[in-house]
Each structure stands twice: as structure tokens, then as C-alpha cells.
Amino acid sequence: MMYDIGIIGGGTAGITAAIYALRAGKKVILIEGMTYGGQIVTSPKVENYPGIASISGSDFATNLLNQAIAFGAETELETVTGIREDEGVKVIETTGKEYPCRTVIIATGVTHRHLGIPKEEELVGAGVSYCATCDGAFFKNRDVAVIGGGNTALQDAAFLSNYCNHVYLVHRRNEFRGEKGLVKPLEARENVEFVLNATVKEIIGESFVEGLLLTNKTTDEDFEIKVDGIFMAVGQTPKNDAFENVVKLDGSGFILASEDCMTSHPGIFAAGDCRTKEVRQLTTAAADGAVAGLAACQYIDQA
């Protein structure tokens, strides 16, 4: 069966693209390897999406998927292994089947790097977060820690200092990898404290975060800091390995795509966190999905 648009990835960007394409009368297959909804599913509360005052990430994702299915989206839970061009047709290859499509939208998102320390996975949503912009406001007037030393960690600490009582910025080296221009303003903020040459040993707390156990790399001594929230800022990994021979990637593995979401390969688009962009939020994922969905429709109609 030939599909007009094959969408790889069932997060906000992918499902939004499906909704726009289906409303334009296109036949759409939505392929997801794990769980529909993307990373937002793990957020206990979403309060930064326009028009929705408050909703759980799980409910948001469920509503979005149900909307796409109601418009006629076909869905498959399969792992995509690649894309090939076959006489002008894009063939999405999975571990189980092949799906011929006129166009393809890659919306595979990213995975946040985890530290792999005790209690990290158990306390996600109970004090452990991977998005300061998403969850920072929930920690107003409380003490938090940011883990990392790059630009994201520095920017997260600056953002959180506007809400939180005290922000510990924990880094395993004696100086930050991020831009000096981001460090200087933080040095001037009274509620930001640098904790350098320290590694995270474990998270303290049973049902929710109560603190961090750290190790001083110079003295090899352990010490604790009391915090209510921990923001991991140790990097993101795009899930684009299967497409590196089909579309161009940047040095970090993100898909190079223009503002219309077109990649280096005609008829293949990229939407959401997997593509090169400055801001990766729920709203920008939805915006990318709308743009990519309409661009794919236009590509088909002009062929």
C-alpha cells in the first residue's frame, strides 16, 4: 500500500504533522518505535502550552494521538531501521515491514542523557527533571541543583535563579565548558552557588527528592546538599543514526533542515527536536509538525 506521507516518530511533532496532513486529505502512516507521545508523557504537569492552563503530559499525548486517529491516521509500533529511495518512492524500512511513501517526515526527537545514578529513574517527575524551562516554575522559592557544565546547564541555572530560593550548579571539573559570557552573570547572582570538582554519587530521597550526595574530586570526601529539585543538563542525543546515509546531519547528529523543515533529501522533512534548531519545547515541536505536514502536502501536490 502506498502512503502519501510516512511519519517516523509519534511525539508532538510527528502527531501534529499527521493531523495537518490528514486534514489536507492525505493518506498517513505514523510509525513509533516505543511509546506514542514522546518525552512529554513523563511530565506530571504541563503548564506552558498556549490555551491549556494545566494538563498532565500523559493526558496531553493521549488527546493528541486520539485526535490524529479520529482524522484517519494509521499507526504502527515498529522500529525504523532506515529509508531508501526506490524509483522516486521513499521506502521506510522497519524490523518487520516496509512502507512505501511519497514523502517522509522524520520526527524521532531526542533522548536526554542520564547520569545513571541511584534513584535517578525512580524520581523522574518527583524532583528529577531534564527540562528547566518546562518544570522550573514548580520549584518557586525552593532549593534546586543543576548538574552539568555546558551552555545548557548555565542557561538553566540562570533561568531557575529567577524562581528558586537557591540554585547549586554542580560540575565535575574546576571550570565550565560553556561560554564565559554565560558564567559571569551567574557569578553576580547571590542565589547561585557553584559546586565545582564534584561528581554526583546518588540522589537522596524515597518518594521525592530530598538532596544529593556528592563526592569532592580533590579530597575524595563525600558531602550532601539539601535540594527539592534536580535538573539534569548533561546533554541530549538525537535518534538519527538510521538516517545518516539519507539526510545530512550536523556535528552533533541533528538533521540539517531549513525553516520549512526540508532536509538535504527532496521529499524528506524533519520536524521537532531531532532537527537543527535553537529552542526545543512542546510549542516548537507542534509548530514544526504543522510546517512539515503542510510542506509535505505541498511537495506531493506540486509533483
Catalytic positions, written as ranges: 131, 134-135
Give how far Cα 1 sits from Cα of 88, 182, 303, Å.
15, 52, 19
* Dihedral Cα 199, 175, 177, 117, nearest 10 deg: 0
C-alpha cell at 68: 490524529
Residue 109 CA from chain centroid, whole number: 6
Residue 90 CA from chain centroid, whole number: 26
* Dihedral Cα 247, 280, 48, 158, nearest 10 deg: 180
C-alpha cell at 47: 503548564
C-alpha cell at 91: 521506502
Task: Assess contact for 289 and 14: CB atoms under 8 A.
Answer: yes
Residue 93 CA from chain centroid, whole number: 24
Burial of 246 (0-12, 13-18, 19+ CB in 10 A): buried
Separation CA 291–CA 242 (nearest Å): 23
Task: Assess contact for 226 and 211: CB atoms under 8 A.
Answer: yes
